[in-house]
Structure 1
Amino acid sequence: MAGAATSAGDLEFPEEEIALDPLCDEDSGSDYGTGSSEYSTDSLTSSIYEYRFENGRRYHAYKEGKYLLPNDEAEQERLDILHHIYVLLYKDKLHLAPVEEPQRILDIGTGTGIWAIDIAEKYPNAEVIGTDLSPIQPSWVPPNVQFQIDDAEADWTFARNSFDLVHIRHLNGAIKDWPKLIKEAFRCIKPGGWIELAEYELFLHSDDNTLPKDSSLYKYYDLCNQAATKLGREFIIAANLKPIILEAGFECATHQTMKVPFGTWPADKLQKEMGAYLYMTAEEGFAAFGMALLTRVMEMEVEEVNALIAQAKIDAKSRKIHSYSRQHIYYAQKPICSDDEEEGY
């Protein structure tokens, strides 16, 4: 454990209260619309392919319904913005696990493939494989990258002890059996190799109680969490993955909790920038998360969901609400002297 902590010793993320920009409470105008602001939207700016369309959004067709977020162009842009937020959060790093010169890397739930492409460029001698339910990845990629259509919840077909790093990010809400998923990763990671997971709570927090429970913004997140829990895909698991990682056989497990502000209310420039990007994702993100969950699970009418989202967006523009998202980052090592074959994994 101590070795893992010192390997990433230059990156410490204490969960401190985010300092407030005193100008934000003037609320004389939003930073988020079009205009001259540094943080305005303007300035930040086979059957597998038979996609399912519902309520104006496109969803994957392969194993239809397993992943409730859309895969259309608007969602792909949102995912790429989230990747940029993580690069800022990690201080220009692509991973926190202390892996060195990996030869094979697996990215589960690769989405647009942006992390897989970036990591392939960082490690040009490594083979990088990205898997996803949706074939939305680009065709022109570095020569050491390949993408495969696959279901992370099915039995993995990769060979035992074949990867130096398995990367999993934002599968929260898509996975029912996390212990199985992490055991599959353990089986496929080489002795001495690493797993890294980045997951989020689908909820906003506020340290100064400026997010009222009667607001549409709070209600939106609360209803989405209720829906996910009904499906057995609760987002609260993000904060509780460390015991599952250790139970799978990993050691040197590290769990870091990081805050990403929602909006430009913080005083710190980096936090303000991350907050601006996170707000940008809300324009499409509210519908991306809410539409399927609230119509399919909570049986709300489309018009009702749209009205809730519209009000939540109004709340989100207020710089008097000092909210943030909580991200959970885990990395752990497979023991160098692992007998996972004898243990039946």
Structure 2
Amino acid sequence: MTFDPFNELAGGSALRLDEGQQDDYCLPVASHSPETERLDFVHDIYKYTAGNIPDEVMELLSDGQDRSILDVGCDTGKWAVEMTEAFPNVHVIGVDLAHPPITVFPPNFHFEIHDVTKGQEYANDTFDIVHVRDITPGISDFHGMLEECVRVLRPGGHLLVKEIEWMPYLHGGGDPRERMPAFRDSAFRSALSERSIDPMIGINLKRYVGNVRGLCDIQYSRHMVPLSPWSDDPILNYTGHLTRIGMPILGNTMRVMLIDHGHPDPDSTYAEAMRELSDLTIKPAWYFGNVAARKQGKFTDVEAENGTRILANG
């Protein structure tokens, strides 16, 4: 039976549901294999390429005070769990449209099913840190989503955002449109646009964050990841390896969205794209944008009860 990411009998999963209704995020849920493995690969790529958190956030979380984090679109929960394990004083709330594949939650990690496109359900100035990663395919109003993240941040708190650039590049020379026509196929970006989602959010991430009111100290970095293990650098080679084994899963992940978009044969196109990746001389790569910013205002250390209070009321 051919793998279908939305057919549990064929190894996939059901569409995400929110309040009993199918939402617009036309990708498999994170709690079902093989999507779980792919998302964990992406987490490790981000961690080894750019780190889980910047130095200033590391310093904040290491001061021994109780701290609160909101993880928006927490996927498999791997980032949140690593935060709770590294910082026992940190209380993390993860929100997503599907339950993460976690059987036993750490005591300082609480999960809630919530559609962030409808706004955040928390009071103003609640969290020390808000973490957002790879939720472009489900957000038609990315700016509004970021504004809500800033609203629930405490003054002086940190906003952390990472987003993929849905565009391949070549570091071995040549035009991607000629050397990787199948991989460069714009059908996925067109399918996102059809759902009123901006497929260029990752490329324009710095501008998106810069246009949100109430932020300061915005730091932007752009990171390259090989699409296959062509690099001699150990980290780049490893992240290229993770990308290469995750790419077939991504093809199945996008399949239903492309069919719904009217693509005549997404399986053949993706098979050809995988063949193109076997040419290591072109050194194919993808990029992601990474932003760290602060909410304007002075960070005052009140009796830090946010995390425990939120967990108790959850």
Correspondence list, 1:259-298, <5 A: 259-289=224-254, 291-297=255-261
1:300 pairs with one of 239, 244, 263: 263
Deviation at 1:209, TM superposition (A): 1.5
Instruction: Name the aligned partner's letter for residue 97 of structure 2.
Output: L
Identity %: 24
Distance 2:208 2:176 in 1: 32
2:24 pairs with one of 53, 61, 66: 66
Q: The residue matched to 1:203 in structure 2 has which SS?
A: coil
1:223 pairs with one of 187, 191, 194: 187
Q: The residue matched to 2:151 in structure 1 has which SS?
A: helix
Correspondence list, 1:157-172, <5 A: 157-172=121-136
Deviation at 1:111, TM superposition (A): 0.6
Map of 1:9 onto structure 2 = none
CA contact (8 A) 2:16 2:97 kept: yes
CA contact (8 A) 2:183 2:276 kept: no
Show CA shifts across 1:152-203 (max 9, x none): 1112111211101000000122111112111111110001100000001111
CA contact (8 A) 2:166 2:202 kept: no
2:294 pairs with one of 315, 333, 341: 333
Show CA shifts across 1:260-286 (max 9, x none): 011111122221111111111102112
Poorly superposed stretches of 4+, deviation over 2 Å:
51-57, 210-220, 241-248
Instruction: Name the aligned partner's letter for residue 242 of structure 2.
Output: Y
Instruction: Name the aligned partner's letter for residue 295 of structure 1.
Output: I
Map of 1:134 onto structure 2 = 98
Distance 2:71 2:55 in 1: 14
Correspondence list, 1:224-243, <5 A: 224-243=188-207
Distance 1:285 1:106 in 2: 26
Show CA shifts across 1:209-267 (max 9, x none): 164436453344x2211221222212211122333323321000111011001111112
CA contact (8 A) 1:259 1:325 kept: yes
Q: Return the TM-score normalized by structure 1.
A: 0.76
CA contact (8 A) 2:70 2:94 kept: yes
CA contact (8 A) 1:108 1:168 kept: yes
Instruction: Name the aligned partner's letter for residue 321 of structure 1.
Output: I
Matched, 1:323 2:281: no
1:178 pairs with one of 122, 142, 150: 142
Instruction: Name the aligned partner's letter for residue 216 of structure 2.
Output: E
Distance 1:256 1:143 in 2: 33
Coordinate RMSD, CA, aligned: 2.1
Instruction: Name the aligned partner's letter for residue 82 of structure 2.
Output: D
Q: How many residues align?
A: 281
Q: The residue matched to 1:73 in structure 2 has which SS?
A: coil
Distance 2:207 2:198 in 1: 17
Deviation at 1:117, TM superposition (A): 0.4
CA contact (8 A) 2:226 2:284 kept: yes
CA contact (8 A) 2:155 2:298 kept: yes
Instruction: Name the aligned partner's letter for residue 69 of structure 1.
Output: L
Gaps of 5+ in 2: 300-314
CA contact (8 A) 1:172 1:199 kept: yes
Correspondence list, 1:1-345, <5 A: 53=7, 56=10, 57-58=12-13, 59-62=15-18, 63-71=21-29, 72-90=32-50, 93-96=51-54, 98-99=56-57, 100-101=60-61, 103-207=67-171, 208-209=173-174, 211-213=176-178, 215-220=180-185, 222-246=186-210, 247-289=212-254, 291-297=255-261, 299-301=262-264, 304-337=265-298
Go from structure 1 to structure 2 and tell me whether the alpha carbon gap of 1:66 and 1:200 turns closer, same or farther (over 3 Å shift): same
Show CA shifts across 1:120-144 (max 9, x none): 1111111100000011331312110
Q: The residue matched to 1:158 in structure 2 has which SS?
A: coil
